[in-house]
Amino acid sequence: AASHTDLDKPPVLLESVGRILQRGLDHRPTKAIGLLQDLSSLKKAEEAMVALGYQKARLRDLQSKLSPHFLFNSLNVIRALVHIDPKSADQAIGSLAELLRGNLRAAQTNLIALSTELSQIRALLHLARLRFGNRLETRIRVPNDLGDTRVPPMLLLNLVENAITHGIGNLEDGGIISVIARENGDRVHISVSNTGTLSEKATHGIGTLDAIQRLDLLFAGKASFSLSQSGDMTVTADVHLPFTHLFHDA
């Protein structure tokens, strides 16, 4: 017998219409109204499934990834260390492996624990300090009780990476990168700050717009992102997330 492909099959909606009509449209108005309501609900359900599929695809497009430029610089640092400081080179390889594992994890989930994201950030900053030396000072201030807060994977990591590349990397004397989190009512406020000045390109750049869209999709408008100049030489990225998005032990 000839095989049938999915294209040969009638759409799910049409199949369901047939089943509804077969249940017995006996010309009674109340019966007809009920069948039409069933059909309307089915159509809405299919539309919701299509919208959900689009949302998942859009989230994949917006998913943060490690910059190839940063990876290239990190590999160059490791290559140099192999000959002059094998122990530091080994530690740097461990940090790079941690970042690559996080990059793979980011493709598999929409939210991770803040503590996991901070592990990635520490690995990133370790590699950056090997490159910049005393030019880079780092500060991470996050209360332990916020460690289970859910955040989009690599969202904060990419903010830190941008702070390194477009902030500290452009300053001859280097500067400071700070990651601070605090509870603010029913929300969690996380800020990433760096020494530097904010450019117009960064304010309206693709990275900023992607971060805003990603938060909107994940938190249905209940999260926010902003980038601003704080004082003469400090750029701050602020992320506000609903405090209800937490992991709870069973």
3-state secondary structure (DSSP) of residue 55: helix
Q: Kindly list the strands in the beta sheet with 234-242, ordered across the sheet, starting from the edge strand earlier in the chain.
A: 136-141, 175-184, 187-195, 234-242, 224-229
> How much is the pLDDT for 127?
93
Element (H, E) at 226: strand 224-229
What does the CA dihedral 14, 42, 110, 112 come to, rounded to 10 degrees? -140
Report, in angstroms and rounded to the nearest whole number, the Rg of the chain calculated over CA atoms: 25
Written as one letter, the residue type at 156 is: L
> How much is the pLDDT for 41?
63
The candidate with the shortest Cα–Cα distance to 234, out of 171, 190, 187, is 171
Structure tokens at 4: 């049938």
3-state secondary structure (DSSP) of residue 191: strand
Q: What CA–CA distance (Å, rounded) separates 177 from 193? A: 6
Q: What CA–CA distance (Å, rounded) separates 33 from 36? A: 5
The tokens 């693709």 sit on which residue? 206
> How much is the pLDDT for 3?
47
Residue 212, beta-bridge partner list: none
> How much is the pLDDT for 218?
85
Long-range CB pairs of 202-208, under 8 A, 24+ apart, other chains included: 202/162, 202/166, 202/227, 202/235, 203/227, 207/158, 207/162
Contacts with 2 (C-beta within 8 Å, 6 or more apart), sequence order: none
Cα within 13 Å of Cα(141), Cβ side: 10
* pLDDT tens-place values along the chain, 250 residues long: 444 444 444 444 555 555 555 555 555 555 555 555 665 665 555 555 444 444 554 545 545 566 777 888 888 889 999 989 999 999 999 999 998 888 887 777 888 899 999 999 999 999 999 999 999 999 999 999 899 999 988 899 989 998 998 889 889 899 999 999 999 888 999 999 999 998 877 666 666 777 888 888 888 889 999 999 988 899 999 999 997 544 443 3
Length reported for the chain: 250
DSSP code of residue 193 = E
Contacts with 15 (C-beta within 8 Å, 6 or more apart), sequence order: none
Full-model pTM: 0.71
> How much is the pLDDT for 50?
46
Structure tokens at 155: 């969202």
